[in-house]
Amino acid sequence: MKLKLNGFLVLFIVLVTQISFAQERAVSGVVSDNTGMPLPGVSVLVKGTKSGTQTDFDGKFSIKATPSQVLIFSFIGMKSQEVTASSVTLKVKMQEDSQTLEEVVVTTALGIKREKKSLGYATQEVKGSTLNEGGANNAVSALSGNVAGLQVIAPSTMGGSTRIVLRGVGSVTGENRPLIVIDGIPLDNGNYNTTNTQRGAGGRDYGDASADINPDDIESISVLKGGPAAALFGSRAGNGAILYTTKSGKRGSGKSEISFNTGITFEDAYVAPRLQNKYGGGSSTTFENQIINGKTYKIADYATDESWGPKYDPTLMYLPWNAFDPEFADDYLKEKAWVAPKNDVDSFFRTGITRNNTLSFTRANQDSGVRFSFANQNTEGIVPNSTLIKNTFSINANSKLSEKIKVEGMATYVQTKGFNRPEVGYGDNGLAQKFYQWSQRQLDFNELKDYKLADGSQRSWNRIAWDDPTPNYSDNPYWIINENTSTDTRNRLYGNGKITYNFTPEFYAIGNVYGDTYSLNINERVAIGSQATPSFTTSTRTLTDFNYEGRLHYDKKFNKFSVNSFVGVNRRSYNFSRVTGFTVGGLVLPNIYNLSNSKTAAQASNYEEKTRTNSIYGFISLGYDDFLFLEVTDRNDWFSTVNKDVNYASFTGSFIFSELTDLSWLNYGKIRGGWAQAGNATTPYRLSFDGVADTPFQGDIRYSQPNTASNPLLKPELKTTKEIGLELSLFNRRIGLDVSYYDVVTTDLITPVQGDPSIGYNFALKNAGKLQNKGIETTLTINPVRTDNFTWDITWNFAKNNNELIELAPGLNELIIGSAPFQATLLAVTGQPYGQIYGTDFTYDDNGNKVVDSDGAYIPTARKSLGTITPDYNMGIRNSLKYKNLTFGFLIDMQKGGKYFSTTHMWGSYAGLLEATAANDIRENGIIVDAVYEDGTTNTSVLDGQVWAQQHYGLDAMSVFDASYVKLREVTLGYTLPKKIIGNFGDLKFSLFARNLFAWNLDWNGMDPEMASYGSGNTQGL
């Protein structure tokens, strides 16, 4: 009995020991990719149970499991791994899985996350790191060259407007830019610059919404390229949409993180006209002799702002422009040699510096997450005395209140303060005009710095006479940047609030509120003593744009079938107002800038705009066995700007044929196709208009009729898109291909048609016209090398778009889009691509030879098309290399074709400033141009050099150039310190970057073709 008891005790002890060994305990570890970088967000699940967790920002996890249980690690784009929890500490290295790449989730219209494989339309994703590593200050311009079919004309660091076009121009008079959306918030991206600023006739560009997105806050970008992709947005996204998703605190990590990003950017003007250095200023090759204080001096023709003066000669002594002011004793009546200046135009500019600092804090636990960031951008422009300071505060939070309720929200406040943004184009304060169009070449810019006398009056080189310092045409450039200044302050707040209620796991409701609001205050000054009339102008713009949305969703899988669907409603309320006050007739007292200082009664104008749109829409996507998908959307809008409601629908489908094959070299293959309609809404107050109250005259109120008649039958333009596409992933994801072909037709173009002035209107608006865009987009990715330590990735983006204006209103064959300050005009012409540059051309004979008259001067034609601003194709090639912790990348951006007209080339030639006007001793020997006489014989007449140069004004083709270019758009170099060095720091990376380093293949080396346009409107290429 005793022995049996002892045996029972032994057995009991063994059982207890085994049970204790089988009890759960904490298992922790780190999950990384195949390069050793930690992977956040990896799902860790105990096999056969519902127990699971996710890795945190450092790839770390902790979970309870017995030694015999198996942990399943899964992550999008990686092979799932099963690891036995035999140890309390695990290190898991996951491997890429090309078979699962089609399961990647992307952001689509209305911010809805979808599996990319189910999409039947073209989208392209760009990682937020592309913006950060490239040192971009503008989140939109950074996309240039990175997205097939997207054309971006980017501003300088001083925050000008950004021109964006997807798949070509689709409207002659309406909006052509895609919708910009950040976390579901449609951002107003309106172009509120003056008409003169947009056509290059002076003024300042105060930027648009693209400048109010902090690149450091962006996690990813989805570009919805066409109607099928953006149909659910309705008319606002008829030109496509760019969706930005910001970084957020992801629930489940249970950790806090502080991140700091600092950088400095240097900017220089890298393309500028080449100026001649052989001749000085004036209209004659001789000096004026003037007796002053009994001595005879040589004096240049300072009243003429051209450089057809004497040839440089170091033995010639003359009195410079600054030798006539006794209070500057060192310069007074002091002669100097007639030579090229030591300090030329380039010495005026400085190296622009932009300092960026972003500090963010992220906190997340099992059920909530929050991220707060502050960013400061401080820019000193390349033009002296110009600055731009931007501060951005952003918060992004989410919380799971219960199993049924989840709330999310974000808010961003941006304050931008600009001082003295440079004036663009041909205007009184335009520096390019003063340097490259009208000037004198002997001017030393170091001497120009003494721009003001003790009494506050200006010292200008362009004095009316040696004894009259009044500026004839041009102010001293240092007077311009120090006295004729501007200030602007923009305060912007945008944000959203979202609540999700789950009735069941498949059936749930979403409520959203999106808001975008800003105010912009601008003050512009022209000082007493300037060549232009002294003035003060103040203006305020305010905007509010709110969207209220509700949706009911139903998502369900039935064996091999799946359904994703929702219905929704939306109300948009938009308000915009502008108030402007300006002095009249000059200013009474110097240095006092307010409206009460106006010489005569100051004037004011105001404008207010209010619109509302009510919408209902729906969506259904049906899938079969994860390889066949069909999607239908429909949206109905009731606009306050038109009298009838409008309806837009789309149909798309995708077939993943790789699911039906077992080819080892084919990892993924999909065919997609779609059809969609979307609108381009008209601006308000076009249905009816009662007149405008003008400034009173002698106490009587005046009213005026608008120049264009209203039309109560006006409706939005209609854009119909058909597209097909192919997606491939080959050879273990070494090669990827995405090809799209599209055909987009815009009908019901809103067109101003010539009216009868006798009835009070010059024009009437009508829905008439058709514009077509057909093209192909290709994105090719190649991974030539992939090892544990080294990877090399190549991305090639290519887009070719054929544009044609098929018809306008009956009897109307052309329509003026805009005009340059002089000569050239931009037209829409039926049967031709959008944007025909019209002007005078060379006369050619039947053999293609240019024809000259008996004097050897070109014979200009009547006004005709000199080419289109639409390019033949665009291309971008990105190379990304990584060796262990070192990264290197570069982006080449290319454009082929298109034309632009240069006012700078025209006037710079006319005024004798450009290099060609002094080449080959043209001024002494003249020039025989390569041409024939009207009878066909070879030209032998010697044409005076100045006559040849001044033919540039009057013969516009001489200043029209090919807009092709090849640019080294971006170079990046980065190094991430190893974890063993940085210890508890999550990540520490150093980067060097450069943007727009070089440009090749320029038709004229004096101008960047991208800078041949002003602002983001439809007037481009002038």
Digit-coded pLDDT (tens) for 806-840: 999 888 999 988 888 888 999 999 999 999 999 99
Compute, in degrees rounded to 10, the torsion defined by CA atoms 243, 741, 962, 160.
-10
Predicted confidence at residue 2, as pLDDT, reads 34
User: Does domain 2-96 fall into CATH 2.60.40.1120?
Assistant: yes
Residue pair 489/520 in contact (Cβ under 8 Å)? The answer is yes
Chain region(s) in the chain for CATH 2.40.170.20: 181-268+353-428+474-1011
Instruction: Note the pLDDT tens digit of each residue in 258-316.
Output: 888 888 888 888 789 999 999 999 999 999 999 999 999 999 999 999 999 999 999 99
Higher pLDDT, 961 or 764: 961
pLDDT of 253 reads 57
More confident residue, 237 or 474: 474
HEC readout, 522-539: EEEEECCCCCCCCEEEEE
- Asked whether 765 and 710 are in contact (CB, 8 A), the reply is yes
By mean pLDDT, which of 70-74, 947-951, 958-962 is the weakest? Answer: 70-74
> Cβ distance 565 to 618 under 8 Å?
yes
For residue 763, the model assigns a pLDDT of 80
pLDDT of residue 698: 63
Mean pLDDT of all residues in 975-995: 77
Reported as a pLDDT band with limits 50, 70 and 90, residue 874 is: very high
Reported as a pLDDT band with limits 50, 70 and 90, residue 455 is very high
- Position 545 confidence tier, pLDDT thresholds 50, 70, 90: very high
Most confident listed range (32-46, 184-198, 373-387)? 373-387
Averaged pLDDT, 173-180: 88
* Exposure on the CB side of residue 554, measured as CA atoms within 13 A: 7
Q: How confident is the model at residue 13 (pLDDT cuts 50, 70, 90)?
A: very low
- pLDDT band for position 10 (cuts 50, 70, 90): very low
First-to-last CA distance in the chain? 111
How far apart (Å, rounded) are the C-alpha atoms in residues 522 and 413?
19
Quick one: pLDDT at residue 1019? 77
Q: What is the pLDDT of residue 1011?
A: 81
User: What b/e readout covers 963-977, taking b as 16+ CB neighbours within 10 angstroms?
Assistant: bbbbbbbbbbebebe
Select the more confidently predicted residue: 338 or 54: 338
pLDDT at 20: 36
Work out the angle at residue 243's Cα, subtended by the Cα atoms of residues 242 and 244, and round it to the nearest 5 degrees: 120
Q: Which residue has the tokens 């070192």?
A: 886
Domain at 181-268+353-428+474-1011: CATH architecture: Beta Barrel (2.40)
Tokens of 842: 């060379």
At 976 the pLDDT is 83
Mean pLDDT of 873-891: 93
State how far Cα 225 lies from the chain centre.
15
The whole-number pLDDT of residue 282 equals 94
CA 772 vs. chain centroid, Å, equals 24
Least confident of 61-65, 554-558, 964-968, 988-992: 988-992
CA distances from residue 189 to 110, 167, 179, 465 in whole angstroms, order as listed: 18, 18, 8, 48
Predicted local confidence at residue 21, as pLDDT: 39
- Residue 75, Cβ density class (10 Å: 0-12 exposed, 13-18 middle, ≥19 buried): buried
Please tell me which residue, 590 or 690, carries the higher pLDDT value. Answer: 590
Instruction: Return residue ranges of the chain for CATH 2.60.40.1120.
Output: 2-96
Residue 880 φ then ψ, to 5°: -130, 125
Cross-strand pairs, 81: 73
**Distance between CA 540 and CA 520 in Å, rounded?**
6
Specify the pLDDT at position 76. 66
Q: What is the pLDDT of residue 162?
A: 83
pLDDT higher than threshold 80 for residue 611: yes
User: How does pLDDT run across 319-331, given as a tens digit for each residue?
Assistant: 999 999 999 999 9
Residue 155 clears pLDDT 70, i.e. is over it: no
Query: Looking at residues 7-21, what average pLDDT do you find?
Result: 35
* pLDDT exceeds cutoff 90 at 19: no
Distance (Å, rounded) from C-alpha 958 to C-alpha 549?
Answer: 55
* CA–CA dist 795, 809 (Å, integer): 43
CA 95 – CA 89 distance, rounded (Å):
20
User: What percent of the chain clears pLDDT 70, i.e. is strictly above it?
Assistant: 92
Spatial separation of the C-alpha atoms in residues 859 and 852, rounded to whole Å? 5
Average pLDDT over residues 339-344: 96
Work out the pLDDT band at 14, boundaries 50, 70, 90: very low
Q: Rounded to the nearest 5 degrees, what angle is found at the Cα of 28, between the Cα atoms of 22 and 33? A: 130
Provide the pLDDT for residue 984. 64
Q: Average pLDDT, stretch 965-975?
A: 90
Residue 963: the pLDDT is: 94
Confidence check: pLDDT of 98 > 70: no
* pLDDT-based confidence at residue 696 (cuts at 50, 70, 90): low
Q: Residue 222: is its pLDDT beyond 80?
A: yes
Q: Residue 268: its pLDDT value, please?
A: 84
Residues 814, 1008 contacting (CB under 8 angstroms):
no
pLDDT value of residue 694: 65
| Model pLDDT, residue 921 | 94
- Mean pLDDT over residues 169-184, rounded? 89
Note the pLDDT of residue 16.
35
How does pLDDT run across 633-686, given as a tens digit for each residue?
999 999 988 888 999 999 999 999 999 988 989 999 999 999 999 888 788 877
Token pair of 886 as six digits: 């070192």
- More confident position, 860 or 707: 860
In the predicted model, what is the mean pLDDT of the chain? 88
Neighbours of 437 (CB within 10 A): 24
Residue 264: both structure tokens together:
């400095």
pTM (two decimals): 0.87
Report the C-alpha gap between 191 and 544 in whole angstroms: 15
Quick one: average pLDDT of 523-529? 96
